[in-house]
Structure 1
């Protein structure tokens, strides 16, 4: 647990990537009284914004504040793993390694782009849901009904992060149903104990969220965001082979040692003992792969973080199986050397991050922190300079619009003038472009920034926006990053 804390502390000053800066922006606007989806829109479910809202409210809406809250969250998760999985392992020394092989590995393999993403954060409630489902196999009647209702409730929390994760949750409960049918339990009784209980449980958090938005008369936009826009976005996109292979490469480079050891666990645990928990972990992995593939045009590296918990637990189980043969080697030094060599790629990442932190005096001051952050995100100083440009004495105050990296909002300490985002414009639908233009016309932000990365998308999908800006704004500054416009 001390090692987990140390690894996490190394990541506290890590920079925001575009996604993290965007989540932080949404959470900050929520704190300032704006309503998600009505006043600040994104296609994602609200869970990630709630997480950043809590993190920022407790520790500050900056890199250290968000990452500190995540570290506390992950430390609690590590303790839960230790407590719940004790009986899953024969050797307690291996059981104690589970947090390192899950949470520890998550931190070690993650860069600025991967930290505090939905797929990483949701692993905690996903595991709780799986463990409660597993425990329900040991009981019948009211006890099983209660455990599965609680499992459904936690599953509802998972869906608040992303509705697509239902494809991971359903196989958990179907596995228990099939397991109970094999044990020749009554089908009618199974329906009440498993199907009805999980359905009731899952409804509570979803109804709570729906009631909240209904209170503000925002159910229509919630319905559009969750159920109408995603199918249209998927229909307008194509399977990105390059991104798929890039993500798979990242995953295999970082998780191959765990996958190899985990294969031993799957073989022995299922073939010899038919362990239901091992089966559920395998089902989790299969569900993860299905969820990733269904996202077609957005097969990003961080999506594979869905695997870090089940693969890490199975790897620990594999070590548990191999521990006795390893102990019987002629020298304990050989055992230690073999394990070290096996996990060498992970050790390299950890050492590299540690050395960078030490070389920058532990990033304790603003200057050393920026140098440290620049190592892990080279564009950071450039984005900061863009924000400094509109933060000079005499600059016009007010909300701005950035068609590009939301980190500019963070560095300039400004918020977004429109409800529609300027991040990931390639996923906009035609009607959203027209609505964005209306919002720019009504809000009249004093500054607009067009990133060169987003410029081709705007030219292709909605050149009218550039005509509008040309009529209402003049070029204030142009450099290698993009173009600043100021209101006439």
Structure 2
């Protein structure tokens, strides 16, 4: 009889802790990225087609996530973050149910969600929450775990496990194609194990391993491409997925300052977890050669390589690709150290060790909690705004930038912003062009004339150009400035840029 794992009382206590930690993050402000995703998802809800009517370099997974979240709970910070919390709590339950046999001490096994999802919420600020790299940890883990489970089975059971593993891999690729090497590493281990260790014949390997993975991975991808074929957008989708990224990387330079900043952010939040995870890796691979540990290490190492490959960005949130393997391996390290810690005679030493381990996380959690309490738990619109400005100082400036758009005498219609997409979100206006101008520095030469043509045809009543992009546009494609000078006049100047109004 198959033993079905169940949640213990400690498991439920940990889950309640994760929910409380997550709730503190519900009123968090959007960064420009999340504002862009929300704007794009809202336009999709209004009938526009992604890439054709609203273009972004990212794969569609993140927009599907925001589209679903917005339709269920609202296209705002609370709505998006509620959906993310539900998603993360479900992930936490899956972690507890699937990893019980990975640990010797069940009290430690219960802590996995706290050292993965809990740490994700404690360490993340507005720039990191609800980003691709954080959300993709769930399907990536399921892909890894199902692959790991297939080592111990054959026939129909292995086929089904690898079919679902492939399906989860397809979901991962819908979020970001560059994560493919991590998936291939998972599947290569089962392939090599069957070929070199079990000496299975090629026909059996093809039927039980290659075929289900292929069917699984192709199904979600085929669904996405079929949809874009139906709306006659395959050409722009192909260019966005396979042509533009290579050109962007080829035209860019390695950004050392972002690499240093991102690495510093990751170490600040995860350094103790990384150190304890090192213990787990050393013991598990040196003594027992634990396969699950090996797969988690492969995820971490290849994930780190993928982060460094993204030379034009290297944002801190990219390091969230590592929070799941880091947290699981750190929990394994605690599992290994649990017996020696129990044998310590002095309770003072135990408390000191625990405090040093938790210190970076406790400080961040305390800061968020105190800010929430000081602002009456951000329950009203005014207190929520005050809470948000604690973490994003420019929210006050951005709100003042868009106040005039809500006045009764303003011109109606979609606007154009060359700068932070938070202006779209805070103003309640959508984008007048298909091309977004959030990352003009990544524009290819062919996109500048397209942007000029779209501005010429759409005639947005208001245009905002940030000071940084004024210089960039004049350098890369001054015809856009010429169009603005011809059809618009200056409405106002701010510390961040210039508003223009249609003549």
Which category describes the TM-score, using the shorter chain as reference length? over 0.9
Gaps of 5+ in 1: none
Q: Equivalences for 1:43-122 in 2 at 5 Å?
A: 43-122=57-136
Q: Which runs of 4+ in 1 moved over 4 A?
A: none
Q: Equivalences for 1:160-309 in 2 at 5 Å?
A: 160-188=174-202, 189-309=204-324
The answer for the alignment partner of 1:354 in structure 2 is: 369
> SS of the residue aligned with 2:406?
coil
Q: CA deviation at 1:226?
A: 0.7
The answer for the alignment partner of 2:460 in structure 1 is: 445
CA distance in 2, matches of 1:88, 1:138: 14
> SS of the residue aligned with 2:431?
coil
Q: CA deviation at 1:128?
A: 0.4
Q: CA deviation at 1:334?
A: 2.8
Further displaced range: 135-144 or 431-440: 135-144
Q: CA deviation at 1:18?
A: 0.3
Match of 2:151 among 113, 137, 142: 137
The answer for the alignment partner of 2:12 in structure 1 is: none
User: 1:429-488 CA deviation, whole Å, 9 max, x = no partner?
Assistant: 111110011001111000000011322221221111111100110001112121000111
The RMSD of aligned alpha carbons is 1.0
The answer for the alignment partner of 1:4 in structure 2 is: 18
Q: Equivalences for 1:307-318 in 2 at 5 Å?
A: 307-318=322-333
CA distance in 1, matches of 2:344, 2:193: 39
> Is the 8 Å Cα contact of residues 167 and 290 (structure 1) preserved in structure 2?
no
Q: Does 1:473 align with 2:493?
A: no
CA distance in 1, matches of 2:173, 2:312: 21
CA distance in 2, matches of 1:287, 1:179: 20
Number of residue pairs matched?
488
Q: CA deviation at 1:187?
A: 4.1
Name the TM-score, length of structure 1 as normaliser: 0.98
> Is the 8 Å Cα contact of residues 259 and 315 (structure 1) preserved in structure 2?
yes
CA distance in 2, matches of 1:455, 1:146: 55
CA distance in 1, matches of 2:89, 2:189: 29
Name the TM-score, length of structure 2 as normaliser: 0.96
Q: Does 1:25 align with 2:39?
A: yes
Distance change (3 Å), C-alpha of 1:132 and 1:394? same
Q: CA deviation at 1:141?
A: 2.0
Q: Does 1:382 align with 2:412?
A: no
Further displaced range: 386-395 or 99-108: 386-395
> SS of the residue aligned with 1:486?
strand
Q: CA deviation at 1:291?
A: 1.1
> Is the 8 Å Cα contact of residues 400 and 448 (structure 1) preserved in structure 2?
yes
Gaps of 5+ in 2: 1-14
The answer for the alignment partner of 1:15 in structure 2 is: 29
The answer for the alignment partner of 1:123 in structure 2 is: 137
The answer for the alignment partner of 2:166 in structure 1 is: 152
> SS of the residue aligned with 2:190?
helix
